[in-house]
Amino acid sequence: MQNELQIRIAKDLNIFRFNRESENEYNQRIVYSAASLWVRTLLYGNSINDMRKDGLIVYPDILYVQSRLSKVIGAYIKSLKMNLDWIETKHSKIDEIAMDLASCIIQEMIYTNNIAEICERKIAAVPKRYYRYGDWIQVRGQMSYGQDLLSIGVSQWTQKANRADSTEEQRVVATKASKYYELMNHHFRWENASLTSTYVIFKEGSTRAYSKCWVPYVQEKTSEGIHIIKETNEFNGGYVMVKHTGKDVQMATIDPWYIETYEIYRILYALNVNHGTRAQFKVKDEGDCKVLCFASALPDYENRIILSISWPYRDYADKYSRIIPKSMWPIVERILDDLGIELVY
């Protein structure tokens, strides 16, 4: 029964077992992707159509979808061989564990724009669109399943061939790290500095996690050029750009948008590239898949793409180590190279 269920789901989703993958790891990927398909079924299928009244669109509550999804996940966990350590949770009952996993999958689908969250915690389907990334196309919205559609993580992908209606997703920032320093120098609004608080400064030149690269800011000892500093009494804000030219210091304030969308990390990566020291992410080569380990966070745009072509590795909520098929690895290499990140195998 277990083998038959595994084979059937894998065939429907076009998921294949990697060469060095254990039975447990394979089942974890299958359950993760299958659960995201059930979310789409709940949004596009009869369960929501039956709720329609007078032709009006019905947007189900997140808890409605989560509770029904958890029942499916619970059945999968009981039917397939899975190590529950992968589902790190304070709960011990399978029903409660399944609720946690359902919530995580729904949130990742919202974050990767596969579904949308609207007012009052309602979930809405997104329009059908085809977004092109290299030789691959991500399919969002309602879709017909076939042999050309692959489930990867919570997303669906197909090859570029025969998709003339695909488009590239619009980006807010499309500047590579090698050019971003000059962009900051010429386009940020620089003014005379009025630094009245106590700050720490991001120390360029380290390949460590960026959360550990902040040291006390001493204006007289800071080298010429652009740097980023942060108020010591601010937990998630208080960032200021400073530009040292001789004895003169200018400053540029950072809009909250940079913090909310993690664009602040694009600045940090660019500062290190300009310094001549690229950030380093580790890669474990597993043959027909690779495991990418993040050293620091990514801006939202790049992070969404990588989450859309991967499965979590260490546990179901893992955003900092991801399993990526070898066939899609060139997308990752291009994204991280543009950010100024070096891959270390």
pLDDT in tens, 162-206: 677 888 888 889 999 999 999 999 999 999 988 889 999 999 998
pLDDT, tens digit, 9 for 90 and up, residues 114-128: 999 998 889 998 988
Write out the two tokens for 93: 């009952």
What is the structure's pLDDT at 51?
Answer: 53
Q: Where in the chain is the domain with CATH 3.40.1170?
A: 279-344
Residue 336 makes CB contacts below 8 A (sequence gap 6+) with 281, 302, 343
Which fold would CATH assign to domain 279-344? MutS, DNA mismatch repair protein, domain I (3.40.1170)
pLDDT, tens digit, 9 for 90 and up, residues 234-258: 877 889 999 999 989 999 999 999 9
What is the structure's pLDDT at 1?
Answer: 56
What is the structure's pLDDT at 146?
Answer: 67
pTM greater than 0.75 = yes
Contact by Cβ (8 Å): 152, 309: yes
